[in-house]
Amino acid sequence: MRIWLDKRSLSGLVSGLSLAGAAFAIDDRTVHVPADGQTIVGGIRAKQSVCAMVTTTVMSGVKGSADVSALVERECATQGSSCSLVTSLEIAVNGRPLVVPRSSFRGLGNVRTAKLVPKGNSFHLVLRGGDGADGFVATIVFDRDRVLKRWLASNLAPEGVLEETTYRAQKESFDR
């Protein structure tokens, strides 16, 4: 399911779908992700509504801050003058937005497809992008409370995780 949004809130969308009685199953269907825009994948499973909104932006040349410029230069070097980067990822479970670490999506370029797969008590947002030997599979694992992990693998060997990031709940503030 692909929905284009202007500036709507993800949690508002989930609430609206629930009120309208929209029931669509998470069936791990792959959804095309446009180079520039917003794509929502989601559904309802075991009375849990899940939505993930992936925002992509076409980037070309130097744009904005130094870190964005470096990101564009690094991620778009093999793509020529422009490429598409994931600039935002929002996830909501039961209408409650989760905190999504920037490192879970930052640096993902030319994402082509997205799908949401339920796995036990968690969900896997699978993003595929790049092309050929530069292709990747990024899997963002989350449950109803928080983002748990990000796995990065090659398109050539999607079962072999090349990079794994684990996100832990912070019990105490760093500001003591």
- Which tens digits make up the pLDDT trace of 106-118? 989 899 999 999 9
Q: What local confidence, expressed as pLDDT, does residue 12 receive?
A: 53
Residue 100 is inside which H or E element, if any?
none
Q: What local confidence, expressed as pLDDT, does residue 167 receive?
A: 96
**Residue 151 forms beta bridges with which residues?**
139, 164
Residues 130, 62, 8, CA angle at the centre, nearest 5°?
Answer: 70
Whether residue 71 contacts residue 47, with contact meaning beta carbons closer than 8 Å, is answered with no
Give the three-state DSSP class for 50.
strand
Q: Hey, how many other C-beta atoms are within 10 angstroms of the C-beta on 45?
A: 14
Q: What local confidence, expressed as pLDDT, does residue 18 receive?
A: 42
Residue 88 is inside which H or E element, if any?
strand 82-93
pLDDT in tens, 22-69: 333 455 689 999 999 999 999 888 889 999 999 999 886 555 666 666
pLDDT in tens, 143-169: 999 999 999 999 888 889 999 999 998
Q: Record the pTM.
A: 0.78
